[in-house]
Amino acid sequence: MADALPATALDRILELTVLLGEDMTAGLAAQGLTPSRAHLLFCLHERGPTTQRDLARALTVAPRTVTGLVDGLVAGGFVTREPHPRDRRATLVTPTEHGAEVAAGLHAGRAELAARLFGDLPAPQVGDLVDALDRVLRRLREATP
């Protein structure tokens, strides 16, 4: 029991991971999205219409996985598959109006959650927290390249 502080810090982060995951998954489910589909939709929101191939690369996921995710998003009315104007093999996954609104909402929701979690803290404390997390992230990347 010489130094339990690091272990406590890790415990808190793991707990935060779980709670944050549950919170976000529940919020997404309320809109008819799974985390993976939301990730794809969000990606689309940033990049505009994109081929499935490029989506697979952007999400570091197998092409087959994108087929399934897009199938689900099409069924839910979030995106459509449009023909690529110059490559008849490819399809351009394109957000519908509804999909674009939801994606914008996700973006706003993220800022809202951040405000809920950190908005009340004095800025210097949030700054210190960010610095500490940066250090931890750096160490994690060093050991796991």
Residues near DNA, by CB under 7 A: 34-37, 51-54, 60-70, 72, 81, 84, 87-91
CA angle 106, 16, 129 (to 5 degrees): 90
115 sits near a second copy (criterion: CB under 8 A): yes
Q: Which is nearer to DNA, 105 or 127 (CB)?
A: 105
- Measured from the Cβ of residue 61, the count of other Cβ atoms closer than 10 Å reads 16
Spatial separation of the C-alpha atoms in residues 126 and 118, rounded to whole Å: 7
- Alpha-carbon separation of residue 134 from 15, 32, 81 (angstroms): 19, 33, 39
* Burial class for 58, CB neighbours closer than 10 Å (0-12, 13-18, 19+): middle
Binding positions for a second copy, 8-67, rule CB under 8 A? 8-10, 12-17, 19-23, 26
Q: How far is the CB of 36 from a second copy (least distance, A)?
A: 13
Instruction: Find which of DNA, a second copy, none residue 104 binds, CB within 5 to 8 Å per kind.
Output: none
The span of 43-51, 78-86, 89-97, 108-116 binding a second copy (CB under 8 A) equals: 108-116
Of residues 113, 103, 37, 50, the one with CA closest to residue 76: 37
* Closest by Cα among 107, 38, 24 to 73: 38
Exactly one of 1, 5, 30, 48 binds a second copy (CB under 8 A); that residue is: 5
Q: Which stretches of the chain bind a second copy, using CB under 8 A?
A: 3, 5-10, 12-17, 19-23, 26, 110-111, 113-121, 123, 125-130, 132-137, 139-141, 143-144
